[in-house]
Chains A and B, each alone.
Chain A
């Protein structure tokens, strides 16, 4: 397995941990992690030499860009909204965002995924800055670095795919950790 496959494995493990621990309580976050995790798992296979899954991996990555990142941003900014707090709400959002995003991308708007991902990262960063949350800001920063690496592509002097995967893994771990702490804090406030 090459570096891209190994880094995708790290990302898949982080996503698996999020799905296992958050899907029931924070379905928006869990579903976003599931979409990214499926893409990462397919990436592990693809970069491990299973060429057959190249197409599905690219499709899952596109779906993550157009649907999972906006859902993640929504879940972090408005954690009590039905889209973040109900599985049915999150799934409907994925269907709509995914439907629009896939259609737009395939019918010529090839920058749609990058634009939606960048907007989502911006929303997450603004949210974390407004909350003056250092861990969250670090997570949003990692997300922005990952996306910048993806945008740089082959022009970058480093392996942009590895940076994308590891940046995403770090971002998800940090942002989810922060969300957990805030949830505990809000429970304490309720008590």
Chain B
């Protein structure tokens, strides 16, 4: 089956380009003219929604982040899933994940990002990736690059892109992760790049590796990688306990965008920032219209993206806890996502950003940033709906005060 090329939305439609890879958001007139949409689709009942991205949640996520397993032998001190060699009780197998792929394809999801734990340890990873392709979804993959390389190399072609987690060079890797794994990860990068062009690195940015970002971009260039994606350290899993020690300082947050752009320019490398960094982009006051055109959004958990735990439990994003169970004790699972997605109370604070408190309520970037990272707010302030306390604008407004940090994240629904 060919990849999905378009789907309707309340604002118009989303159209997928394959070369170059892109998702374009178009208004209703464009969809009528170019996609041949006729009549009055149910999604287009509200005339005010035409062309207004963000007025309502998407009809389905753009992508789903599937934590196929919580098995991983690395034991990283900041692991956001708290992965272990044993994995999680009740992890799904291939058949259930295939059903999840079927559900996501039926909803119109474009991409799935497969991760863990270490999903390359799963003997059926290739079969699941083939199943996603067969259902018109592009499977992408994240790996720590520490285990499972021999199994991954023969199936690497099945993935749209593979990113390897690399949080520092040489001894910095050990300081961030808690063990010396740099050489193994670097060897995995070299081996993957030999057989595939679309290989990138994910870098979780901490106060330990911030000063090394330029050197990391240089390393990515030397390895002829596709891109560097920078991720904010999240207080989730084992990361909750390490958060106070490893999270970036306010000064580093303010310096992030210029540092990254300078490194990208110098080393001619594509740079991506994850959704939780949108407040740090807004700090530099780029034109909101320009960010909108580039689809720079903050927290889009439970909207542009959805997560699923190794047990299939739906989450707004990979860092969020599953929603509370229903009266019968059941939690929504990703193979029945459509039913939960349309509920009035789905994803809790992740979908209530339009009711943000000050200073977000009057911020020119609210429609893009959506209040920053819900997971950081929940951990730091005990309120997932509160403005991101690490946003420089929130800090300047005096809203960045912290409560004493707990040892574990409070459960936040989503």
A, B assembled together: no
Binding site for B on A (CB under 8 A): none
Binding site for A on B (CB under 8 A): none
